[in-house]
Amino acid sequence: MITKQQLLELAKEHGTPLFVVDHDELRNNIAMFRKYLPRVTPFYAIKSNPMPEIVHTLYEEGASFDVASQPEFEVAVQNIRHLSEAEQREWIYNKIIYANTIKPMEMLEALDKYKLLVTYDNEEEIKKLKKYSPNSRAILRICVPNKGAVVELSSKFGAFPEECVDLVYKALDAGISVEGLSFHVGSQTTEFDNYTIALNLAADIFEQVAKRGYKKMHMLDLGGGYPAPYDESVKPFPVLAEVINKSLNALFPKEVFCLAESGRFMNATAGWSVSRINGRTVRGGKTRYYINDGAYHTYSGIIFDHQHCHVHSFKENAKLVECAVFGPTCDALDVISAHEQLPDDLQIGDLVYSDNMGAYSHASSTWFNGFPPAKVLHINLKK
């Protein structure tokens, strides 16, 4: 793992704001996922951090991919352009899921030749599949409880359980092959029971569909949600894995292919950001720091991902007091933290850093106010 000293040296050499990606950490995370969830094939959710270097490292580790737009599809398949046309098709068939229940018509038309695995959750989408991508293979996304997830998704996506059997048969009637079911318990889930509830709901729908005659569903997509260890309150991954394995083995025969659309778990711990203090003042007795990265940039997860990002000083053994940290833009929304434990004697020009920044951070960075996204540095890339 990267040390504070290395981070400081990299920032001094390359300037700030800097976003550092440690590829050893990506490799460790996917290995850990496979070790503890041996029945579940990881499909890296590209949206969480679409940097081609990250996608390439995970490709080299044998990962599959969850894409949610045509550009994300392209980021994944640029790794296989050296293969023959037939090999590319086979790879896409086996290793890509287009996991956005609402799909643009042009994309469906353009990618139909790949017999893409796609998710859907409503009848209009079935009509679109029939018209624009009749060769696609469908996975019905069901709405499951997202209780306790930091990012809730069930208010927007997923068919209600009582609609599911009909939606499977409507797709079949339209000539679309239905491969299985998917769900998402919400990102950065804290309630592991949500997986148990979702797996039971899915098993029940598998059974009801089979009872009505269709017995060819053979895929179960457990979505994302696997939490990153942002702080001590996050229960360890092996504990969650045990909960999932127990239900999976009890409810689904070995022949059912299980996959997960994991994003955050793969990359959160691989990302670091380093910024420079560009301004400071004391108001109401509290020291305020203004740094050169913020909520419109690498810290955009504060807004879009409901994150609480922590900013740390490189100073060893300094006394910490409550300070405020702001980003560089003119918007008062650009607050990283109003209550951050930092030394109050940091000076203009000093560097600060944040860890666990790999997911939903740089991916949603903007150019607001003329400030470009942070410079990106990849370390521990395989030669």
> Known catalytic residues?
330
Residue range at the interface with ligand PLP (CB under 6 A); choices 103-111, 195-203, 223-231, 329-337: 223-231
Residue range at the interface with ligand PLP (CB under 6 A); choices 13-21, 131-139, 221-229, 272-280: 221-229
For residue 104, whether the previous peptide bond is cis, meaning omega lies within 30 degrees of 0, is no
Q: How far is the CB of 231 from ligand PLP (least distance, A)?
A: 17
Q: How far is the CB of 153 from ligand PLP (least distance, A)?
A: 6
Q: How far is the CB of 257 from ligand PLP (least distance, A)?
A: 17
Using a 10 angstrom Cβ sphere, with 0-12 exposed, 13-18 middle and 19 or more buried, the burial of residue 281 is: exposed
Using a 10 angstrom Cβ sphere, with 0-12 exposed, 13-18 middle and 19 or more buried, the burial of residue 130 is: middle
| String of DSSP letters for 213-238 | T-----EEE--S-PPP--STTSPPHH
Q: Which of residues 91-110 bind ligand PLP (CB under 6 A)?
A: 99
Choice between 133 and 361, CB closer to ligand PLP: 361
How far from chain centre, in Å, is Cα 75?
A: 15
Residue range at the interface with ligand PLP (CB under 6 A); choices 17-25, 31-39, 220-228, 239-247: 220-228
Residue range at the interface with ligand PLP (CB under 6 A); choices 79-87, 168-176, 244-252, 260-268: 260-268
The dihedral built from the CA positions of residue 118, 123, 126 and 131, taken in this order, carries a sign that is negative
Q: How far is the CB of 37 from ligand PLP (least distance, A)?
A: 13
Q: Should residue 296 be labelled a site residue for ligand PLP when binding is judged by CB under 6 A?
A: no
Question: CB 383: neighbour CB atoms within 10 A?
Answer: 2
User: What is the bridge-based pairing of β-strands 257-262 and 271-283?
Assistant: unpaired
Choice between 222 and 325, CB closer to ligand PLP: 222
Q: Which of 27, 103, 128, 184 touches ligand PLP (CB under 6 A)? A: 184
The dihedral built from the CA positions of residue 240, 241, 246 and 251, taken in this order, carries a sign that is positive
Per DSSP, what are the bridge partners of residue 139?
119, 180
Q: Should residue 373 be labelled a site residue for ligand PLP when binding is judged by CB under 6 A?
A: no
Q: What count of Cα atoms within 13 Å lies in the side-chain half-sphere of residue 157? A: 19
For residue 17, whether the previous peptide bond is cis, meaning omega lies within 30 degrees of 0, is yes
d(CA 323, CA 337): 8
Q: Which of 50, 158, 224, 358 touches ligand PLP (CB under 6 A)? A: 224
Instruction: Report the candidate in 261, 201, 267 with the shortest Cα–Cα distance to residue 229.
Output: 267
- The per-type count for the chain, helices as H runs and strands as E runs, is 12, 16
Q: Which of 19, 36, 59, 226 touches ligand PLP (CB under 6 A)? A: 226
Helix (H, G, I), strand (E, B) or coil at 286: strand
Residue range at the interface with ligand PLP (CB under 6 A); choices 31-39, 248-256, 263-271, 374-382: 263-271
Say how many residues make up the chain.
Answer: 383
Q: Should residue 225 be labelled a site residue for ligand PLP when binding is judged by CB under 6 A?
A: yes
Over the window 149 to 178, marking each residue x when it contacts ligand PLP by CB under 6 A and - when it does not, the resulting string is ----x-------------------------
Residue range at the interface with ligand PLP (CB under 6 A); choices 206-214, 257-265, 332-340, 373-381: 257-265
Q: What count of Cα atoms within 13 Å lies in the side-chain half-sphere of residue 52? A: 8
Q: What is the DSSP letter of 151?
A: B
Are 264 and 153 in contact by the 8 Å Cβ rule? The answer is no
Please compute Rg for the chain using Cα positions: 22
Q: Which of 17, 42, 180, 223 touches ligand PLP (CB under 6 A)? A: 223
Q: Should residue 297 be labelled a site residue for ligand PLP when binding is judged by CB under 6 A?
A: no
Q: How far is the CB of 201 from ligand PLP (least distance, A)?
A: 17
Q: Should residue 187 be labelled a site residue for ligand PLP when binding is judged by CB under 6 A?
A: yes
Q: How far is the CB of 365 from ligand PLP (least distance, A)?
A: 17
Q: Which of 25, 61, 66, 355 touches ligand PLP (CB under 6 A)? A: 66
Using the structure block, give the residue that is written with the tokens 């359980």.
161
Q: Hey, what are 305's tokens?
A: 């991902």
Q: What are phi and psi of 344, to 5 degrees?
A: -95, 10
Q: How far is the CB of 101 from ligand PLP (least distance, A)?
A: 8
Q: Should residue 263 be labelled a site residue for ligand PLP when binding is judged by CB under 6 A?
A: yes
Q: Should residue 334 be labelled a site residue for ligand PLP when binding is judged by CB under 6 A?
A: no
Q: Should residue 358 be labelled a site residue for ligand PLP when binding is judged by CB under 6 A?
A: no
Binding site for ligand PLP (CB under 6 A): 45, 48, 66, 99, 153, 184, 187, 223-226, 261-265
